[in-house]
Copies of this chain bind each other. A is one copy, B any other.
């Protein structure tokens, strides 16, 4: 009665059967890969019980076969990842290589040949989610990526499963440990950005080339993943407005501190109501002023925290180590258990579901409050001129603080909510005023 494809699907969904061994290919053997290998070996009994059958790493793809790896049987190692993925005795592929193009090829090959995939690769997922999800759906297999966002903090599982019956309104989080370490160091020691970055590098919190972290790209990948899951709408890396922390100065941090704020690099995913009543979504990453009494303000060092607001659940916060070999391995192994259970018992995890397909709002549509720090002439009438520039654009001021300097004064204003597009216009107008010497910084308020 059934067509061959349906039979294949049914077979897959009904599983290999209790007690059968799940064959695993491990792609990559860096810090995370080595921890996955170690923990899966050391706790083999526990994993067999939790899965319903043994999980066996049958091959490890590495670049350099000649590098010494104590404790790893030589016969497991191969430098031919494609051949490993294609092997008949592999049921599940664990990708912890990093990069985009090569892992994309391997993950697609695995999914297309009916193998489930667990990946920790945020860049890959954020760039190619559609293609990967389609391949997984076509083959009826699982694609898991809990480790791609905030390591063992179960953000992906929460958005995909726990909040599956709710409507997510907003996600805001500290999802990059390197930048949080740098900003925290600047705040607690008064150091400059360059000094704090040097310290982060020295302590191993920043990589030799810190670009992906400090420019916000890493956080933007995570924002894309969280927004896609939370809003059931595909949000890609290139849809995320992204500003890093390289322009944050010690003066910004000090001014924020005086006003009762900490500066944090937040990934913000938001459902917006447009004027015509329709909905859109936006995802962005930028330095943000967080009130000191907000839980996100007290997230120190390289910790991560994610704040979720949902219609019925209200506010939820999740906090923990968002990076590192062990926490990432924990997330990967949680996914391995889930995927392997389905291979043994049948069934599929809830996949990504982008049915809502909401439009992505341009950054200019986003409404927020602003903290603007400028240098102005020290004479009467200046405040009137500046207030007028704001008023002409329909934006009112919430607080104004003036500090007198030698020849010029420093003026710090906090606005009421205004759209990004309006703010751009105001900054342009301010720059044209004779009264304004320089606009030093514009930092958004939020949480």
In the complex the two chains form, what is the Cα distance from A310 to B337 in whole Å?
16
Interface flag for A146 (CB, 8 Å): yes
Interface flag for A391 (CB, 8 Å): no
In the complex the two chains form, what is the Cα distance from A335 to B350 in whole Å?
12
Interface flag for A331 (CB, 8 Å): yes
Interface flag for A348 (CB, 8 Å): yes
In the complex the two chains form, what is the Cα distance from A256 to B33 in whole Å?
46
CB-based nearest B residue for A11:
B14
Quick check: A327 and B312 within 8 Å, CB to CB?
A: yes
A330 to chain B, nearest CB (A): 4
* Complex partner residue of A146 from B162, B346, B356, CB under 8 angstroms: B162
Interface flag for A39 (CB, 8 Å): yes
Identify 6 new A-B residue pairs, CB closer than 8 A, beyond the known A166-B330, A314-B327.
A161-B338, A164-B338, A165-B336, A312-B326, A318-B318, A345-B347
Quick check: A347 and B337 within 8 Å, CB to CB?
A: no
Quick check: B165 and A39 within 8 Å, CB to CB?
A: yes
Find chain B residues with CB under 8 A from A341 CB.
Answer: 350
Find chain B residues with CB under 8 A from A321 CB.
Answer: 313-316
For A, the interface residue count at a CB cutoff of 8 angstroms equals 62
In the complex the two chains form, what is the Cα distance from A20 to B49 in whole Å?
33
Find chain B residues with CB under 8 A from A39 CB.
Answer: 165, 312
Interface flag for A13 (CB, 8 Å): yes
Find chain B residues with CB under 8 A from A163 CB.
Answer: 152, 154, 330, 334
Quick check: B50 and A152 within 8 Å, CB to CB?
A: no
**Copy number of this protein in the oligomer?**
2
Find chain B residues with CB under 8 A from A312 CB.
Answer: 35, 39, 152, 326-327, 329-330, 333
Interface flag for A15 (CB, 8 Å): yes
Closest 3 CB pairs of A and B: A347-B347, A165-B333, A152-B313
Interface flag for A421 (CB, 8 Å): no
* Complex partner residue of A10 from B14, B151, B330, CB under 8 angstroms: B14
Find chain B residues with CB under 8 A from A400 CB.
Answer: none
Quick check: A43 and B167 within 8 Å, CB to CB?
A: yes
On whether A347 and B342 interact (CB within 8 A), knowing A49-B232, A312-B327, A312-B330, the answer reads yes
Quick check: A316 and B313 within 8 Å, CB to CB?
A: no
> Can you name 5 A-B pairs with beta carbons within 8 Å?
A152-B312, A154-B154, A317-B318, A317-B319, A318-B318
Q: Which residues of A from 3 to 33 have beta carbons under 8 Å from B?
A: 10, 13-15
In the complex the two chains form, what is the Cα distance from A285 to B162 in whole Å?
26
A374 to chain B, nearest CB (A): 36
In the complex the two chains form, what is the Cα distance from A46 to B354 in whole Å?
11
Find chain B residues with CB under 8 A from A334 CB.
Answer: 161-166
Interface flag for A353 (CB, 8 Å): yes
Find chain B residues with CB under 8 A from A336 CB.
Answer: 165
Binary CB contact string for chain A from 333 to 367 against chain B (1 if under 8 A, 0 otherwise): 11111100110011110100101100000000000
In the complex the two chains form, what is the Cα distance from A151 to B347 in whole Å?
27
Find chain B residues with CB under 8 A from A167 CB.
Answer: 43, 46
A409 to chain B, nearest CB (A): 39
Binary CB contact string for chain A from 245 to 258 against chain B (1 if under 8 A, 0 otherwise): 00000000000000
